[in-house]
Structure 1
């Protein structure tokens, strides 16, 4: 399992792009992106139970819909969509779209819903099991997938990882009108923040370094779709994420599959629209699906925000009681971090520091089980 470095943990960023390989990887030979996605999910469906991490967002809905269609065509067991529902987190609520997609796909009989309140906090009961087993990993919300990996034991785990990068990227498509372009220009200028605002808990020189590197990486994202896809596939952020998912699944004798990052799919997508610049996600999804899936799967929807899910009571209590020790003084200004943690919500970029410092203060007990047998969280499951 690839791991973040101490610098990554302190700064809350995972930056860096590997050099391109000398030769382009061979694809599956399927020119149609939807057909390539179909081929990508078949190995997972052939190894049941095939658990799908289903949030109701566009990426997970697309993966679920393709998996359902392929399973029924091939006479394989239906995939098992597993969904989190969060108490006290209205901006993370996607229940309406979850219900719509499940109803359209007629997959309700196998749908499982996990319900959580403080359970998924950065250092809540689920995260603690993961931290004691693996240490601090990337992304900081990987523990969300721990109960899903347990449900997938002996089978496979499908996720929509990579969708934000492959289908959307960072650069916004050109605005449709002059008025819209002027609005975005004012908005961008008004919300652009400097190193002290974004990384105020770091030593000033470190904050400036990280800010420059972060801005440079964002500016380096290619505009042409084919190049953008290849670039994101080489980013450390995405590679460490996929490695963590694979390792988590493997520890439960399961296989993690990310269909939106499949070589055949990205090759087919590049063939379809690789020379375009600024193509919107909605337009790209419409071309991929071409009416072959229910409209609910790719209908535009707001993007959920999960800060309220992971920053809850356990994190609030821990940061308030933190004694100022345990950070690398060359990277982190303990007084500045304490000041940042005196306000709520705390900066999202300090999430990995919360986990790092909590684990240092609460190491795993020797001989204490940390896998499924040591499960101590109390999650409600609705089948």
Structure 2
């Protein structure tokens, strides 16, 4: 008997158009909204580009990873104006000028209907600093990225259920020419962020704790409770699981959170361990599998295992005093300090949920999702709320796919 989950996994490990393989999530991971656990980290490849011995610092590794893309060019940098994409753009420009390679093209997605996604002031500041004020390319996004829009549904029909759901409709991939190398700042929030030891590193630098909040952070890190937010940005998984998760899914998420909270105490060991988490590796593979249809190649240097290992070595046991300190260590010569130290972030989830998604939720009868893992009533209520979480995209697609199957086959 064919089920919705079977249909989503029908092409498991099959090429996504140009050779990259799609990695399917388990039913529990679909409910949670992300891959769980870890996997072995591949060894560094042979040759100079793959060397990451003790003498190589993270900045040098990042420059080499960026140079690989530039040499294969043309290169477009997915540039939001945030810290991570700004850093990747700055490194790419620096390497291109050093090696006499064509400059990367910063390309920004513009969301006229989403005021919280406006990063134009930050973009101008970065581009002026880098001498690229006249090179920005913009792509206006209205409904191209909707999870149930025409592009997403065509890709969903071709590829089946894929995580992340947003990969089915990427306005940037659909805009650039075949053969383009796309550089991103993906993974920066996690890789360049804080670790369990970070509050203690701050106390060590100051000689004492500074304030009640810092004292709470110091105490919290002993049990792992003070870790930063992960990818579930509309809910805080470090405090509680989303209300639509049931039994096994809720337990699986809590085990995952507990494992993340019990990362090694030392900065270098905790950072090196990040290279084995499945989220970045599955993300890279699946984005590439879908981009193969367009002849586009993704590069995510900040989550490349070689960069992660090099940053671990640079940080040593104590690491850095926080995200801004890490950014300054790596990029102080390339970007204004205001960019390195900024704390604000744009919000883009609104580009995925609109009238079509709301209409579907209004008429949805709860079929398609696994009711052992998901409370359909609570999930529907969330979809009809003000800010549906992007990580519920796989469940939305799972429910949509069930429409094409006889009702008895979705059980």
Q: Give the TM-score of the pair, scaled to structure 1.
A: 0.81
| Alignment partners' CA distance in 1, 2:106 and 2:236 | 39
Pair 1:193–1:243, CA change in 2 (3 A): closer
| Alignment partners' CA distance in 2, 1:347 and 1:74 | 42
What is the match of residue 214 of structure 2?
Answer: 181
On the 8 A contact 2:280/2:303 being kept in 1, the answer is: no
What is the match of residue 51 of structure 2?
Answer: 27
What is the match of residue 206 of structure 2?
Answer: none
SS in structure 2 of the partner of residue 68 of structure 1: helix
What is the match of residue 219 of structure 1?
Answer: 261
On the 8 A contact 1:171/1:278 being kept in 2, the answer is: no
1:305-357: CA deviation from partner (whole Å, max 9, x where unpaired): 23323222222111111122222233223344344445443455533211222
The Cα of 1:97 is off from its aligned counterpart by: 0.8
SS in structure 2 of the partner of residue 151 of structure 1: coil
**Is 1:201 matched with 2:244?**
yes
RMSD: 3.3
What is the match of residue 315 of structure 1?
Answer: 357
What is the match of residue 66 of structure 2?
Answer: 41
Pair 1:78–1:36, CA change in 2 (3 A): same
Pair 1:288–1:322, CA change in 2 (3 A): same
Task: Give the stretch that moved more between structures: 163-172 or 227-236.
Answer: 163-172
SS in structure 1 of the partner of residue 294 of structure 2: coil
Gaps of 5+ in 1: 364-383
| Alignment partners' CA distance in 1, 2:370 and 2:238 | 19
The count of aligned residue pairs is 359
Which residue of 21, 29, 32 maps to 1:8?
A: 29
| Alignment partners' CA distance in 2, 1:309 and 1:183 | 36
Q: Give the TM-score of the pair, scaled to structure 2.
A: 0.76
Which residue of 137, 153, 175 maps to 2:178?
A: 153
| Alignment partners' CA distance in 2, 1:94 and 1:74 | 30
What is the match of residue 298 of structure 2?
Answer: 256
Pair 1:322–1:107, CA change in 2 (3 A): same
The Cα of 1:271 is off from its aligned counterpart by: 2.6
SS in structure 2 of the partner of residue 285 of structure 1: helix
SS in structure 1 of the partner of residue 321 of structure 2: coil
Gaps of 5+ in 2: 1-21, 203-208, 230-234, 406-411
What is the match of residue 114 of structure 2?
Answer: 89
* 1:1-383 → structure 2 map (5 Å cutoff): 1-18=22-39, 27-29=51-53, 31-143=56-168, 145=170, 147-148=172-173, 150-169=175-194, 171=196, 173-174=198-199, 177-181=210-214, 198-203=241-246, 205-277=247-319, 279-295=321-337, 297-346=339-388, 348-361=390-403
On the 8 A contact 2:63/2:91 being kept in 1, the answer is: yes
SS in structure 2 of the partner of residue 81 of structure 1: strand
1:27-85: CA deviation from partner (whole Å, max 9, x where unpaired): 34452332221111111111222111111111111111111111122221111111111
| Alignment partners' CA distance in 2, 1:110 and 1:27 | 33
SS in structure 2 of the partner of residue 260 of structure 1: helix
Pair 1:206–1:349, CA change in 2 (3 A): farther
On the 8 A contact 2:327/2:340 being kept in 1, the answer is: yes
On the 8 A contact 2:268/2:317 being kept in 1, the answer is: yes
SS in structure 1 of the partner of residue 103 of structure 2: coil
| Alignment partners' CA distance in 1, 2:213 and 2:379 | 38
On the 8 A contact 1:327/1:334 being kept in 2, the answer is: yes
The Cα of 1:90 is off from its aligned counterpart by: 2.4
On the 8 A contact 1:195/1:207 being kept in 2, the answer is: no
